[in-house]
Amino acid sequence: MKKNNQFLLILLFFTNVAVFSQSTITVSGVVSEVSGQPLPGASVVVQGTSIGTQTDFDGNYTLDNVLDNGTLVFSYIGYAPQEIAVNNRTVINASLQEDTQRLDEVVVVGYGEQKRSDITGAVVSVKSEEIVKLPTLTAVQAIQGKVAGVNIVANDAPGSTPTVIVRGVGTALAGRDPFYVVDGQPLQDIRSINPADIESIEFLKGASYANIYGIRAANGVILVTTKKGKEGKITFNFDSFFGLRSVLNRVEMANGEQYTQFFNEENAAIGGPQLQLNQRYDTDWYDELLQTGTVQSYNFSVSGASKKINYFLSYNFYDEEGILEDSRFSRGNIRSNNTFKLFDDKVRVIQNLNITYTNENPKGFDAFNTAFRQSPLVPVRYDNGRFGQSFYNETTGIVGFEGAEGDVIGRLNNAGNPVADVFFDDVNQNTTTLQGQITLEADITEYLTATGRFGATQGFLKRNEFEPIRQQWLNADPTRTVEQFEFERSDPDGDGIISTVFANNRFETRDEEFFRWNVEGFLTFDKSFGQHNLSATVGLSRENFGGREILEAEGFDVFDQPRLRNLNLRTSAFFDNTVTQEFNQSTNLQSYFARAEYDFAGKYFLRAVIRRDGTSDFITDENFFDNFPAFSLGWTLTEENFLKDNSVLNFLKVFGGWGQLGNANVPINVQQVNTDPDSGNQNYVFGPTQELIFGASFGSPVFPLQWEVTEEFEAGFDFAMLDRKLSGTFTYYDRNNTNAIINVQNTLNSAAEGDFLAQAAEVSNSGVEVLVNWRDRVGSDFTYNIGVNFSTNRNRVENVVPGFDGEVGGGLANGQITKRLQEGQPLFAWWLLEADGVWQNQEEIDNNASVGNARPGHLRYVDQNEDGVIDDRDKRFFDNYLPTFNYGVTIGAQYKNFDFSLDGFGVGGNKVYNGLANTRLQSVNISEEVFNSRWTGEGSTNSAPGADRDALASSFWLEDGDFFRINNITLGYTINNMGFLNRARLYFTAQNPFMFTDYSGFTPELNQSGTDAAGNPTFGNPRFGTGIELNAYPTTRTFILGLSVQI
């Protein structure tokens, strides 16, 4: 790159960079600490130009095109920058002094930035190196286990969003997701951001910092800052990786022989038919269902900066093939971030543009469930090519649909064929998201800056679903014929109506469009008066979001070929098309905010924030505006004389704060007056001719609902000691949702005729967060760091209006429930019968309290209230699915050109429910473990039920959800300055190679809570399936090979 050149780069919008040359020399040298230890990665820039480089691992640099009379600027984060005049020298060594006065690192805190050392609350910053270390679809997943107090629950299905819980779940019914902001712009979906584009992510955990986002901050705020071009030469980055993915923790199922034995034992107990011992098929459904998935990503970026412009342009393509055949997710992403510096850099125009498109073929998770249940004696396909179903000949006891005249052909169970389910599941979903923002920053005076911003996001979703009804009908029973299907389609009863059960196929198409925009302006004041440092921000913003239009159309008998699937081009006109349209009203949000930060000599810090939010969602209430105050204090003890010169403690700051946060994403009560045009119980008859008189009745009481308000107190300290080798943070937090909305199940003796919502409880979360890092160097070639984080969480429902708690949840889809919301318990704690051994004989059953139809071999349950009957009043609470502690370990090491990292994290104190095993219906398969541990007769075991068992929800199926997972082992090798390559790194990563858990199911990370109207999974709702394994996607293990090249 020795050319003195003019670069002309036509970037996506408008980028034009010019660099001119003069008489120059080449300068080289070493950058080191004062102690003499070299500083790798330090920046060396020729002042006033874009010419610059970074030091290599040994602190060496070489810089061409340096003006012989210029000045070099050496800088490194955490160190005071140094300027050295060149004076025609060709070797310039620099030694940098650690900046102990102020840590230079700047942290984004919302509507501005603050120096790391000035922070007086729990703000955790994660840098790009940490994010890209773990190749994932979303940045938050890469951070799993690294931020104390932020519990990230992964879901490994292609294209899924992890659930992020900041300091515990603080709400029963309101929104639970943190508020994401990217470069100051509210973000619709974290999946639209390419992790490689991210410079840093800040987690505003505590209320004193998060409250600047007012009504949407109650679940924590996550600020994403994307990359900008950096001063220095133009940089091209190319990163790609490829990985193979498989199930991490597969459950071994019973084989055909074991199944047969279990089946026969079960049927012997209830008097059903028996199976023959030798059967033709022995299918391992998970072998048939699962494949090795792949994941690949290609990322290209170009970036740099000149005096007038900083530019960054990137393109990413991510593609993932899931462990279910043909399940696929791919994403393309284009980002352009440019900063135009006008009027001597007094005015800056910053433009961000992000375009994301995804293409996805999701496959229903139900197949995992079905594979768990279907008998191994059933084949994937019969000889005639049809998919296998659970038919068996009850007369001969042979599995199959064949039989002699008079034989009874029955079904083993109601489970389907999981391979067929996946085969026929034909959904395609495309999305396009356009996100853009323009920011104007103007320095009015040296200490006063004005910022104005406009951003907008528009998204489109298109979903097509094709259901090959004819094929499914034929494959549901191998004896069915095409002639039968055609006969049914011919309107045999002549009523002119043909059921859609006999349509050839069903085609559904769905279009969604959403739009949101934000405009904001704020003034930032920043000035020092002697030792008094003052900064202040005032501003306002307006936002419009939540608007969505959905158009859905359904038709039958379209063409089979994907390209011809068209509702106007059908093969028959037997069935009408239907169209539905839905429009979600958007929300307007008007906000004002003010913030003042003061410190004296970097010792004493005082910070106060107020946010005022008004939302159109609550305009029918008298007060739809509310204020959210916060303040915090800090004291840097190491700035005091009594600690200033000590040699052990380098930095110690204590801080504490209090703040209020809102959550306006709440459900709203709708006043109901029930009427009925027919024989409803509002109506009555009066008069001699008994006329029907139409009446009315009130539904449930309608309490006015407001946003939820969370108050939080936190206190802690940051420290660094032993030459900053050891550093860390300790924080205590106590947050309380003061007016949580709960769904009140009407008590039988109340006036309410249905459930209703009421702001009738508090949900508290408290705990501690500890983060400790150790970094050191051994010799000149080896550096290492060890980080440990640990956090606790105590979740409680408190101060419930009497009689208003008791909502049950966690349904198992078989009529059983597993959870209950109760004062004094964690949110939706497990509420179950307590299993206590196994009935050994009928005499025991007769002489003790038992459930109806109890038989020897069934579980026996504790009669908690000793009333001689086992019923719901004998259920008791068993903790909750939320972990009470989380921890993570990060180990990194570098030796010469090798780098190594190992990350692991774990949770504990949580209980998870093995719904897959519990909700077993008669004659479905069991795991090998269940088979081996079963009761087989009096005295065999008292710990697990026999083949004949009930399906009641009980503590027997509740297991410890503790796990520790190594989620990353990476080994990399880096080459610097080889030919035209600035830097190249080859790495191998094992993602989730090991998991340590006693849980008997697939995964204890169970954040799926159900499915939405479109059939897509929903996550994290404490009331529903969260913590229950019913059809969760298993955790996967991935081996990745990657290459990063920088030119």
- Binding residues (CB under 8 A) for another protein: these are 343-344, 346-347, 440, 442, 444, 450, 452, 519, 521, 540, 542, 585-590, 614-617, 619-620, 624-625, 668, 670-675, 678-688, 690-698, 702, 745, 747-753, 802-803, 806, 869, 871-873
The rounded distance, in Å, linking the Cα atoms of 24 and 367 is 68
Q: Give yes or no for a contact between 797 and 825, defined as CB atoms under 8 angstroms apart.
A: yes
Between 487 and 583, name the residue whose CB sits nearer to another protein. 583
Minimum CB separation from another protein for residue 73, in Å? 26
Decide if 1011 contacts 1017 (C-beta within 8 A). Answer: yes
Output the DSSP codes for 121-152. Answer: S-EEEEEHHHHHHS--SSHHHHTTTTSTTEEE
> CB-wise, 612 or 724, nearer to another protein?
612
> Which of 720, 818, 753, 849 minimizes the C-alpha distance to 1023?
818
Distance CA 659, CA 880 (A): 28
Q: How far is the CB of 684 from another protein (least distance, A)?
A: 4
Rounded to whole angstroms, how far apart are CA atoms 546 and 30? Answer: 55
Least distance in angstroms from the C-beta of 870 to another protein: 10
Q: Per the structure block, which two tokens stand in for 259?
A: 């199944």
CB atoms within 10 A of CB 659: 27
Q: How far is the CB of 698 from another protein (least distance, A)?
A: 5
Give the CA-trace dihedral at 813, 817, 821, 825, to 10 degrees. -130
The DSSP string of 732-776 is EEEEEEEEEEEEEPPPTTSS-SS-EEEEEEEEEEEEEEEEEEEEE
Provide the minimum distance between the beta carbon of 937 and another protein in the complex, in angstroms, as a whole number: 32
> Minimum distance from CB of 450 to another protein (Å)?
6
Per-position DSSP letters for 432-490, written without gaps between them = EEEEEEEEEEEEEETTEEEEEEEEEEEEEEEEEEEE-HHHHHHHT-TT--HHHHHHHHT
Rounded to a whole number of angstroms, the minimum distance from the CB of residue 624 to another protein is 6
Q: Would you call 974 helix, strand, or coil by DSSP?
A: strand
Query: What is the residue-wise DSSP string for 391-437?
Result: EEETTTTEESS---TTPPEEES-S---HHHHHHH-EEEEEEEEEEEE
Closest distance to another protein from the beta carbon of 226 (Å): 25
Tell me the closest approach of the beta carbon of residue 582 to another protein, in angstroms: 14
Nearer to another protein, 494 or 802 (CB): 802
In the complex with another protein, the residue whose CB is nearer, 537 or 737, is 537
Instruction: Pick the closer one to another protein by CB: 750 or 785.
Output: 750
Q: How far is CA 154 from CA 105, 250, 1014, in A?
A: 30, 17, 22
For another protein, the closer of residues 561 and 749 by Cβ is: 749
Strands 426-445 and 506-529: unpaired
Closest CB to another protein among residues 387, 804: 804
Tokens of 424: 């026929």
- Nearest to 792, CA basis, from 657, 908, 703: 908
Q: How far is the CB of 570 from another protein (least distance, A)?
A: 37
Contact (CB, 8 A) for 817 and 953: yes
Q: How far is the CB of 805 from another protein (least distance, A)?
A: 9
C-beta of 251 vs 664, nearer to another protein: 664
Complex with another protein: residue 703 or 784, whichever CB lies closer: 703
Considering the complex, what minimum distance in angstroms separates the CB of residue 453 from another protein?
A: 11
Shorter beta-carbon distance to another protein: residue 619 or 921: 619
Q: Kindly state the smallest distance separating residue 881's Cβ from another protein, in Å.
A: 22
In whole angstroms, the minimum distance from the beta carbon of 868 to another protein comes to: 9
Residue 1035 carries which side chain, given as an amino acid letter?
A: T
SS (H, E, C) 503-572: CCCEEEEEEEEEEEEEEEEEEEEEEEECCEEEEEEEEEEEEEEEEEEEEEEEEECECCCHHHCCCCCECC
Shortest CB 489 distance to another protein, Å: 35
- Looking up tokens 């068993």 gives 878
Q: Minimum distance between the CB of residue 8 and another protein, rounded to whole angstroms?
A: 27
Q: Which is nearer to another protein, 715 or 862 (CB)?
A: 862
642: enclosing H helix or E strand: helix 641-644
Q: How far apart are CA 1037 and CA 966, in angstroms?
A: 10
The two tokens of residue 927 are: 């795991």
Q: Which is nearer to another protein, 658 or 804 (CB)?
A: 804
Closer to another protein by Cβ: residue 562 or 803: 803
Nearer to another protein, 549 or 723 (CB): 549
CB of 697 or CB of 848, closer to another protein = 697
Long-range contacts of 713-717 (CB under 8 A, 24+ apart): 713/656, 713/657, 713/658, 714/121, 714/122, 714/206, 714/207, 714/208, 714/656, 714/657, 714/658, 715/654, 715/655, 715/656, 715/657, 716/122, 716/654, 716/655, 716/656, 716/769, 717/652, 717/653, 717/654, 717/655
CA gap 489, 485 in Å, rounded: 6
Q: CB 741 → another protein: shortest distance, Å?
A: 16
C-beta closer to another protein: residue 428 or 590:
590
The tokens of 576 are what? 């009408």
Residue 764: phi and psi, rounded to 5, are -110, 150
Among 568, 763, 858, residue whose Cα is nearest residue 176: 763
Other C-beta atoms lying within 10 Å of the C-beta of residue 679: 8
C-beta closer to another protein: residue 343 or 529: 343
The secondary element (H helix, E strand) that includes residue 368 is: helix 366-373
CA distance 807 to 893: 51
User: Smaller CB distance to another protein: residue 344 or 383?
Assistant: 344
Nearest approach, Cβ of 229 to another protein (angstroms)? 24
CA-CA distance, 856 to 937, in Å (whole number)? 8
- Kindly give, in sequence order, each residue whose CB lies less than 8 Å from that of residue 666, ignoring residues fewer than 6 positions away: 173, 174, 175, 705, 706, 707, 708, 741
